[in-house]
């Protein structure tokens, strides 16, 4: 029986793309939002939330497209193994 954590995606591994996008968006987005907020007047919590959502959504889209492009170009997310070469029981 094949373990649960093993997958055999055909083409792009969308699970890897989503997980990598999530992590990179937080790692890249938080410093970008913080740096840009230093130059902006944000008097209320509503303004701060709106600013974070607007900037964060742009960061998310850019990161998602970059990760998807990387996965498409380099066949990322599968650990670099050809599923046909994996021997059962290793």
Burial tier of 25 (Cβ tally within 10 Å: 0-12, 13-18, 19+) = buried
Residue 78, number of CB atoms within 10 A of its CB: 16
- The token duo for 10 is 């055909």
Decide if 40 is inside a domain: yes
Cα–Cα nearest to 61, from 27, 16, 13, 29:
29
Domain extent for 51: 14-76
DSSP state of 2: -
Decide if 83 is inside a domain: no
- How confident is the model over 1-56, as pLDDT tens digits? 666 666 666 678 888 899 999 999 999 999 999 999 999 999 999 999 999 999 99
Decide if 5 is inside a domain: no
Structural domain count, the chain? 1
Decide if 4 is inside a domain: no
The pLDDT-based confidence of 60 (bands split at 50, 70, 90) is: very high
Cα(5)–Cα(43) distance, rounded to whole angstroms?
47
Decide if 54 is inside a domain: yes
Decide if 37 is inside a domain: yes
């Amino acid at each position: 029986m094949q373990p649960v954590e093993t997958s055999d995606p055909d083409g792009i591994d969308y699970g890897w793309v989503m997980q990598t996008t999530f992590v990179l968006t937080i790692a890249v987005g938080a410093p970008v939002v913080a740096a840009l907020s230093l130059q902006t007047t944000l008097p209320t919590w509503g303004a701060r939330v709106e600013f974070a959502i607007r900037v964060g959504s742009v960061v998310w889209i850019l990161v998602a497209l970059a990760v998807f492009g990387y996965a498409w170009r380099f066949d990322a997310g599968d650990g670099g193994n050809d599923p046909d070469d994996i021997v059962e029981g290793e």
